[in-house]
Amino acid sequence: MQPIRLQMEYQVTIKETHSHALRINPSSAKEAEEKRREIYSNEEIAFDYSDQFSDVLAKAKEETLTPYYRSKDCDFTLFNGDCFELLPRLNFKFDMIFADPPYFLSNDGISVQSGKIVSVNKGEWDKGGTPEQIKNFNKRWIKFCHDKLKEDGTIWITGTYHNIFSVANCLTELGFKILNVITWAKNNPPPNISCRYFTYSTEFIIWARKYEKKPHKFNYETMKLLNGGTQMTDVWRIPAVGMWEKACGKHPTQKPLRLLYRIILASTNEGDTILDPFAGSSTTGIAANLLGRKFIGIEQEQEFVELSYRRRELLDNSVEAQKLLKKMRETPEEIMVLVNHARPKDYQLMIEKGICYLRAGDSKGSLLVQKGFERLGYVLLHTNGDNPQLYPLTKKGFQIWTAESLQELGFSAEHAPYYAVLCFDSSNPILYDQPVNLHQRTYTNVVKIKPLSDFIRIK
């Protein structure tokens, strides 16, 4: 092996918890460590996690691999090369690995895309070999990934029938424990032009942890919340990649950001570090950074590292980043929240009775049928923007009550003859950490429907 060129860059961010950040630029890892000790002799001060991340490259076996690109905040590092060569040289353990390896389905077949007949070939990297060659290929890179995972780390690997059985066998043989096989059901698959079998509309994603017996991270409550309060199943309905995700260029097998959003949210926490050894256009890195996670990717094709670079640079524009984050968090089946203002007296009574109401029909302030009404799963009660409380609905849909029947219960329903009534579980308030500023609008008391992702934790 060629001796490795040393190109070291040390950026150590030291943060005194919650007060201020201090950036130093020492010339070596040793000097960085000395500076750190000098400035912070008090051992009780917690260092920010990003410290350790900046050290990844500095520490790599006395060598530093030169990345093709590193974002200004060091949260996104991309290597241009062969993962078989680079993986063993990364001296770092990751919290999670997402791998979208070649499926080996470039077999000169044809498919339909936007009404046109196209070849299914993706590139040289996707051309298959014998089953044995495919197995060797998978076993080698999965073994490297095993070495690079933390003890409680998990790996997600995508595939279709062409590669997924081989991947599953390799995982088991290498000591991983398979946790789930997610079926990703696309609601907009390309048609089957032979008309001799069913349309392919699914892909599989194996989720496995490093060891049989060591516990792994799973943000169960967040997934349940996203699923409207019931356990999320292993069938995920997420559309195929959209045009809005291809503004910087296209990758032939680009994964949707929405898929990565769910995967990352399910199995990592803010500040965690994620590896993608077959990064492609770096969908994993984009989703990771939008969610406050760090990313290291490896991609062998120049064309795709350039595309990744353009995608990541766009995130430095905070308006663009916010737009992407919002789009990524919405799905066509997303659970919605009814944001409902109540007068202080009614607010208390609503919580006591577990019901809330809004004007029905076309009277002023009523909620006419709006997009998302059929997917309501939660109600957020507030009084003029204050005291917001999020509760799960106990019944899907609503009932129509007369004003008199509400007044009999003590409510001051006096502006309309009929009201739409929804029942919620007031004993089960939902904690959320994405406060929506309800004071922002002039008409705070107009009822609204908002996506649940506006409220839930991404930390």
Ligand X SMILES: C[S@@+](CC[C@H](N)C(=O)[O-])C[C@H]1O[C@@H](n2cnc3c(N)ncnc32)[C@H](O)[C@@H]1O
Q: Which one of residues 49, 84, 92, 200 is an interface residue with ligand X (CB under 6 A)?
A: 84
Q: Which listed residue (228, 280, 297, 377) binds ligand X by CB under 6 A?
A: 280
Write down the least CB distance from residue 205 to ligand X, Å.
Answer: 11
Considering beta carbons, is residue 234 or 303 the nearer one to ligand X?
303
455 binds ligand X, rule: CB under 6 A: no
Is residue 254 involved in binding ligand X (CB under 6 A)? yes
Q: Which of 70, 148, 210, 255 binds ligand X (CB under 6 A)?
A: 255
Smaller CB separation from ligand X, 216 or 255: 255
Tokens for 123?
A: 């590139």
Given the complex with ligand X, which of 100 and 346 has the nearer CB atom? 100
If one asks whether residue 125 binds ligand X (CB under 6 A), the answer comes out as yes
278 binds ligand X (CB under 6 A): yes
Contact 380, 389 (CB under 8 A): yes
Dist. CA 102–CA 111, nearest whole Å: 18
Find the binder of ligand X among 251, 258, 312, 448 (CB under 6 A). Answer: 251
Is 324 a residue that touches ligand X (CB under 6 A)?
no
Residue 83 as a binder of ligand X (CB under 6 A): the answer is yes
Residues 6+ apart with CB under 8 A from 206: 156, 157, 159, 164, 167, 168, 171, 178, 180, 181, 182
Q: Which range of residues in 18-26, 180-188, 252-260, 434-442 is near ligand X by CB under 6 A?
A: 252-260
Phi, psi of 168 (to 5 degrees): -60, -45
What distance in Å separates the CA atoms of residue 76 and residue 365, rounded to the nearest whole number?
47
Residue 285 binds ligand X (CB under 6 A): no
Asked if 281 is part of the footprint of ligand X (rule: CB under 6 A), the reply reads yes
For 39-44, the CB contacts below 8 A with 24+ separation are 39/14, 40/14, 40/16
Task: Tell me the pairing of strands 149-159 and 94-99.
Answer: parallel
Asked if 253 touches ligand X (CB under 6 A), the answer is: yes
* Of residues 101 and 228, the one with the C-beta less far from ligand X: 101
Please tell me whether residue 100 binds ligand X under the rule CB under 6 A. Answer: yes
What token pair was written down for 86? 């680079």
Is the distance from CB of 149 to CB of 93 less than 8 angstroms? yes
Asked if 377 is part of the footprint of ligand X (rule: CB under 6 A), the reply reads: no
- The most distant pair of C-alpha atoms in the chain lies apart, rounded to whole Å, by 85
Cα angle vertex 411, ends 413, 444, to 5°? 65
* Bridge partners (DSSP) listed for residue 22: 14
The least CB distance from residue 122 to ligand X, in Å, is 7
Nearest C-alpha neighbor of 51 from the set 16, 7, 95, 81: 16
Q: Which stretch binds ligand X (CB under 6 A): 12-20, 67-75, 79-87, 88-96?
A: 79-87
Instruction: Give the SS3 label for residue 50.
Output: helix
Q: With b meaning 16 or more CB within 10 Å and e meaning fewer, what string describes 279-305?
A: bbbbbbbbbbbbbebbbbbbbbeeebb
Q: Which of 70, 94, 102, 401 is close enough to bind ligand X by CB under 6 A?
A: 102
E-assigned strand segments in 227-311? 235-237, 273-276, 294-299
Query: Which CB, 27 or 160, lies closer to ligand X?
Result: 160
Cα–Cα dist 304/310, whole Å: 10
Pick the closer one to ligand X by CB: 250 or 396: 250
Any idea how long the chain is?
A: 459
To ligand X, the closest distance from the beta carbon of 184 in angstroms equals 13
Q: Considering the rule CB under 6 A, would residue 121 count as an interface residue with ligand X? A: no
CB of 263 to ligand X, least distance (A): 11
Residue nearest to ligand X (CB): 280
The number of residues that bind ligand X (CB under 6 A) is: 19
The sheet carrying 399-402 orders its strands as: 355-359, 418-423, 399-402
Q: How far apart are CA 110 and CA 455, in angstroms?
A: 43
Which of 27-35, 43-51, 264-272, 299-307 is the region at the interface with ligand X (rule: CB under 6 A)? 299-307
């590896």: which residue's tokens?
275
Q: Is 219 in the site for ligand X (CB under 6 A)?
A: no
For residue 224, the one-letter residue type is K
Residue 295 CB, shortest distance to ligand X, in Å, is 12
- Site residues (vs ligand X, CB under 6 A): 82-84, 100, 102, 125, 251, 253-255, 278, 280-281, 283, 298-301, 304
